[in-house]
Amino acid sequence: MSFPQAGAYPEESQANTILVLGILSLICSCFPLGIAAWVMGNRELEAIDGGMRNPANRGTANAGRIIGIVATALGIIGLVIIFAFLFLGLSVGILDEMFR
């Protein structure tokens, strides 16, 4: 499949930025970057489907979006585990004080 020249599209692709945000969110355990990659990836794919951006960057944008989704999910799971341990620790501490 051949694509038109890069200058033929009215908007510049953000696929590389999306991929970098996704990778950083996974490596740095910073899931807000994952959310940004996820949202930007969705918008990039919509722009590609709308003919506003070069479809040759679809794979890069989709990869960044998927990495952002994974990083966000792992971040949320991590927060749930941290809050569970905090709640469990506080509960044990309160029960220990009650039965002394």
User: Domain segments of the chain: what residues?
Assistant: 12-75
- pLDDT of 29 reads 86
- pLDDT of 85 reads 86
Residue 56 has φ and ψ, to the nearest 5°, of -65, -20
The mean pLDDT values, 10 residues at a time, for the chain of 100 residues are 66 94 93 95 96 94 97 95 85 69
Q: Which amino acid is at 92?
A: V
Q: Which amino acid is at 71?
A: A
- How far apart (Å, rounded) are the C-alpha atoms in residues 97 and 17? 52
- How far apart (Å, rounded) are the C-alpha atoms in residues 83 and 5? 51
